[in-house]
């Protein structure tokens, strides 16, 4: 099943749940129709909020120590929770259920084209905020939908290779930038391993990862599928899984030098958060940003655009 279809079913279940709560309120408590609507929708939103808060609670159990410069006060923590909740609601309830992978070419653009690779359980709709920026800057780009949802991360390499080849052919460029969120960053690294330094490497100007668990995440234990197993890590000081170790062993210093890892010390899915630090890469830490919000936070998107500009200037 495609993520778009799955999310639509989830939205339908939520709508039916809201309807059931509203109907029960009318029948048992004599609520007015508007009260029933508010109660039904409010119940669904509350459940979604509790799920979001639970992610932060689970990630806190395996969190890495937060550097002093990134520690948050009560107000900043509330803003982070609100931003992550809004980002999650917009992404899963609006952008991703409507999304289709696309390629958009801006002729005569001097910028390197960009391939966008989403993370676990998502689709190309995750990139809606960044796509808007790319269009405003007239940067050619393409999005992918990684399938199957619970498949082997290595199995995504062929689809990424096809996306790379198509984007370069249509844009007329010789090199491109890849941006990967969460598992998408690992899928891009798996593509580099599969197609080699002479295949993938010479066409890649820079790989930018957002919230990617380069050394695994403890929360992957709650995921399903082969890909979730490939991202597992046992405890704060525990080892990464065999697949991640083999992926790292296959990379040369030259490959790592072309990777930028952007991450948050308050990521609510990647735990420990320092799992996103990749030796030999350019690591850009942020604070006060959740996992989903990395794809729409203004500061993070500014950094992504700056890294794209840097990669283009380095040509």
- What is the SS3 string spanning 50-112? HHHHHHHHHHHHCCCCCCHHHCCCHHHHHHHHHHHHHHHHHHHHHHHHHCCCCEECCCCCCCC
Residue 170 confidence (pLDDT): 97
pLDDT tens digits for range 167-224: 999 999 999 999 999 999 999 999 999 997 544 568 999 999 999 999 999 999 999 9
pLDDT (0 to 100) of residue 202: 85
- Nearest CA-CA partner of 123 in 90, 143, 145, 150: 145
Q: How confident is the model at residue 285 (pLDDT cuts 50, 70, 90)?
A: very high
- Please give the mean pLDDT across all residues of the chain: 94
Domain containing 120 equals 1-315
Quote the pLDDT of residue 314: 57
Whether the upstream peptide bond of residue 285 has omega within 30° of 0, thus cis, is no
Predicted pLDDT of residue 234: 79
Query: Residue 199's pLDDT is what?
Result: 47
Residue with tokens 């939103």: 45
* Residue reference for tokens 């029933």: 36
pLDDT tens string 130-167: 999 999 999 999 999 999 999 999 999 999 999 999 99
> For the chain, what percent of residues have pLDDT higher than 90?
89
Rounded to an integer, the average pLDDT of 302-309 is 97
Residue that has been written with the tokens 């790989």 in this structure = 207
255 and 188 Cβ atoms separated by less than 8 Å? no
Q: Mind listing the pLDDT tens digit for each residue in 252-281?
A: 999 999 999 999 999 999 999 999 999 999
pLDDT in the model for residue 290: 98
Q: Check pLDDT > 90 for residue 52.
A: yes
Greater model confidence, 81 or 234: 81
- For the chain, what is the domain count? 1
Whether the CB-CB separation of 182 and 120 falls below 8 Å is answered with: yes
**pLDDT exceeds 70 at position 237:** no
In the block, residue with structure tokens 């330094």: 197
Distances (CA, A) of 291 to 139, 260, 266, 287, 313: 25, 17, 8, 11, 29
The CATH number of the domain where 286 resides is what? 3.40.50.1820
Q: What is the mean pLDDT of residues 85-95?
A: 97
Strand partners, 142: 103, 115
pLDDT, residue 200, reads 54
Is-contact 295 127, C-beta < 8 A?
yes
What token pair was written down for 143? 């999005």
What's the whole-number mean pLDDT along residues 56-64?
95
pLDDT at 312 over 80: no
Please name which of 174, 167, 120 lies closest in space to residue 143, comparing C-alpha atoms: 167
pLDDT of residue 198: 46
Say how far residue 182 (Cα) sits from the centre of its chain. Answer: 4
DSSP 112-181: PPEEEE--TT--GGGGHHHHHHHHHTT--EEE---SSTTS-GGGGHHHHHHHHHHHHHHHT-S-EEEEEE
- Per-residue confidence (pLDDT) for residue 313, from 0 to 100: 66
Mean pLDDT of 13-28: 93
């Amino acid at each position: 099943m495609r993520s778009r279809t799955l999310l639509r079913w989830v939205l339908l279940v939520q709508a039916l749940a809201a309807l059931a709560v509203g109907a029960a309120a009318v029948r048992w408590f004599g609520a007015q129709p508007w009260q029933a609507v508010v109660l039904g929708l409010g119940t669904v939103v509350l459940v979604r909020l509790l799920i979001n808060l639970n992610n932060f609670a689970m990630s806190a159990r395996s969190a890495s120590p937060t550097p002093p410069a990134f520690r948050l006060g009560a107000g900043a923590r509330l803003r982070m929770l609100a931003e992550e909740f809004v980002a999650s609601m917009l992404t899963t309830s609006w952008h991703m259920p409507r999304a289709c992978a696309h390629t958009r070419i801006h002729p005569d653009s001097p910028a390197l084209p960009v391939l966008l690779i989403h993370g676990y359980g998502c689709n190309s709709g995750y990139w809606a905020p960044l796509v808007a920026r790319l269009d405003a800057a007239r940067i050619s780009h393409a999005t992918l939908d990684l399938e199957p949802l619970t498949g082997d991360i290595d199995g995504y390499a062929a689809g990424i290779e096809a996306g790379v080849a198509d984007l370069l052919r249509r844009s007329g460029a010789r090199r491109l930038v890849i941006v990967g969120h969460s598992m998408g960053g690992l899928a891009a690294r798996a593509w580099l391993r599969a197609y080699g330094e002479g295949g993938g490497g010479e066409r890649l100007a820079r790989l930018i990862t957002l919230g990617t668990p380069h050394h695994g995440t403890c929360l992957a234990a709650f995921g399903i599928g082969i890909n979730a197993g490939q991202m597992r890590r046992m405890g704060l000081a525990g080892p990464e899984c065999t697949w991640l170790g083999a992926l790292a062993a296959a990379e040369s210093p030259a490959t790592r030098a072309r990777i930028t890892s952007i991450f948050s010390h308050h990521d609510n899915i990647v735990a420990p958060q320092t799992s996103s630090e990749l030796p030999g890469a350019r690591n850009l830490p942020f604070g006060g940003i959740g996992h989903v919000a990395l794809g729409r936070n203004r500061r993070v998107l500014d950094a992504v655009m700056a890294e794209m500009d840097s990669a283009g200037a380095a040509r």
